[in-house]
Amino acid sequence: MLNVNAYPNVKTLHVGRGRALTVHDLENDVCWLLAYSPKHSKGARDDAYKYFEDLDTRGELMPTEGDAVKLESVSSAEFIDALTELGRELYEEARLSPRQEIGRSISFSTDEDADTALKASISIAIEFYVDDSGEAEECVVAFTVPPDEDFGVEQALDVMAALVPIDVAVNDISFANSIGTRNLNHAKNEIAFSWAKFS
């Protein structure tokens, strides 16, 4: 990119007139989204590349040490992958046992060294419904998260994206207030999503 310090592995992304910058961080094996601007108009004051250059000049373009520390939070890819795998197993169990809440907790640690280990414990519950005709189905997925865990809606949606059937649109996922006849336990940081599909 012109007029930005030469960083290895920095790439631009083009989506219509929008522009974004990414960098592949080889040390942490992650691709960072550095910046995005919806407008590319060469020479304009609000051009995406001008914005990227300004961020670079202020030292605000590249990931910080704080960003790297966040990689070790509970939202790490390894934990999301493990939770997603558990969610897939529970989804298959729930499909075989309609109208029954199927749940399990998962504990995760990245390291045996207690001082540096990423530890997390989250419960996931799934209930699947299908009508008598088999033409309509609904699924509710709930996550119970201890208050000290750094796991929120964004990470839950990452898991949901892997669980939702391919013929269900992302826009059809909504927040749920209950799972089956049980109301969510907000005191225990329980969040839930649902989707429905009709044949």
pLDDT in the model for residue 108? 66
The Cα–Cα gap between 189 and 152 comes to 9
pLDDT in the model for residue 58? 92
> What is the greatest pairwise CA distance in the chain?
64
In the structure encoding, which two tokens stand for residue 8, read together? 């290895």
Nearest partner of 123 among 101, 99, 151, 104, judged by Cα: 104
Nearest partner of 4 among 35, 41, 40, 45, judged by Cα: 35
pLDDT in the model for residue 74? 45
Q: Which residues contact 195 (CB under 8 A, 6 or more apart)?
A: 138, 139, 164, 168, 172, 173, 174
DSSP conformation class of 184: P
Q: What is the mean pLDDT of each run of 10 residues along the chain (199 residues)?
A: 60 84 82 85 81 90 82 65 87 87 77 50 84 83 80 81 82 86 81 86
What is the pTM assigned to this prediction? 0.56
Distance (Å) of CA 106 to CA 44, 111, 138, 153, 163: 51, 16, 24, 18, 17
Give me the DSSP letters along 106-166: EEEES-SSTTT--EEEEEEEEEEEE-TTSSEEEEEEEEE--TTS---HHHHHHHHHHHS-T
pLDDT in the model for residue 3? 54
pLDDT in the model for residue 7? 61
Strands 136-144 and 119-130: antiparallel
Nearest partner of 173 among 158, 187, 152, judged by Cα: 158
